[in-house]
Amino acid sequence: MAKHIRLKYKLSQRFEGRNPRKHALIVSIAAIVCLFTLVIVGAFVNVEGLDVNFMAKNNPPSFTHIFGTDWLGRDMLIRTLKGLNLSFWIGVLAATLSVIIAVSFSILSSVNKTLDAVVTWLIDLFMGIPHIITLILISFALGGGLKGVVIGVALTHWPMLTRLLRAEVMQIKSMEYIGVSQNMGKSWWWIGTHHILPHLLPQLIVGFILLFPHAILHEAAITFLGFGLSSEQPAIGIILSEAMRYLSSGMWWLAFFPGFSLLIMVFLFDVLGRNLRKLIDPLNGQKL
């Protein structure tokens, strides 16, 4: 009996320390701080290390060059930071454009059945083709470079979010309290901004953040394949594709550290998005 009680006590103790909301909040804040540090350091880092220096070429990782140096003697840590910074801003731009497209389409589809059919067809069309193929096509058609990558990523990543938002709008529109609101003489604009938008906002924020990892990875992928950014830009994809040529000669640090940093950044965004969803999703959190 005494043993049983002790066990129960331990159980309750274990759960007390783990308030899921608090946990999600702390993790989200930690992820935001990490990402901001990454961006700020990337923006203000000393670019002297990027100068060609044949005295220090092909150095493996050491205390002076933590990520090692490449075949031109450039510091890989600084290149990686600059690359991540560029990836971040491409992610911001592409994800913002995607969210704008998704919101406009979900609102359009709520107007009438014909428009809804058009939007659904477009969603199916874009989701039916693998992202990377559409991405290469669009980026190539626009002549590559920053413009091609951003527009390509933005134009391929809206369907998932649009589908989600469209379903959400349709569900809310059929709720009884919308009818009540209409019958009280409220305009569609009033209902849209007071009833529907506050419901969509959490989905929008979470969708925006979860678009980042996709955008960044796809940017790196098409740059790696040679359809994206031009080679003088310090992008992670460029770094990785150049490192390919030196991997066989045993210079593992050229690919390992930049690739690993990219993974960490993507992971941080994913953690942030999933924890924010726990906090503000209408199904989970009511007291925002």
Partner 1 sequence: MLKIQETSYRYQRERQLFEGLNLTVKPGEIVGLYGNSGMGKTTMAKIIAGYLNPDSGKITVDDQNHHKKSPNPVQLIWQHPEQAVNPRWKMKQVLAEGGVIQKELYEQFDIKESWMQRYPSELSGGELQRFCLARALMPTTKYIIADEITTMLDALTQAQIWRVMLSLKTQRQLGILAISHDKILLDRISDRVINFEDLIKSPS
CB atoms inside a 10 Å sphere around CB 232: 7
Residues 195-214 touching partner 1, rule: CB under 8 A, are: 195, 198-199
Min dist. Cβ of residue 174 to partner 1 (A): 10
Please report, for residues 64, 68, 133, 246, 259, the alpha-carbon distance to residue 72 in angstroms, rounded to integers and kept in the order given. 16, 11, 33, 12, 19
Side-chain half-sphere of 21: how many Cα atoms within 13 Å? 8
Single out the residue of 73, 192, 259, 282 in contact with partner 1 (rule: CB under 8 A).
282
Segment interacting with partner 1, rule: CB under 8 A, options 4-12, 117-125, 185-193, 211-219: 185-193
Q: Which amino acid is at 284?
A: N
Single out the residue of 54, 185, 232, 248 in contact with partner 1 (rule: CB under 8 A).
185
Tokens standing for residue 237: 């994809």
Single out the residue of 9, 44, 121, 177 in contact with partner 1 (rule: CB under 8 A).
177
Single out the residue of 129, 147, 179, 244 in contact with partner 1 (rule: CB under 8 A).
179
Single out the residue of 143, 184, 232, 250 in contact with partner 1 (rule: CB under 8 A).
184
CA dist 105 and 124 (Å) reads 13
Min dist. Cβ of residue 206 to partner 1 (A): 16
Residue 187 interacts with partner 1 (CB under 8 A): yes or no: yes
Q: Among 152, 157, 127, which Cα is nearest to 138's?
A: 152
Run of H or E residues at 218: helix 197-225
Q: Which is nearer to partner 1, 44 or 177 (CB)?
A: 177
Can you give the C-alpha Rg of the chain in angstroms? 24
Residues near partner 1 (CB under 8 A) are: 175-177, 179-187, 195, 198-199, 282, 286-287
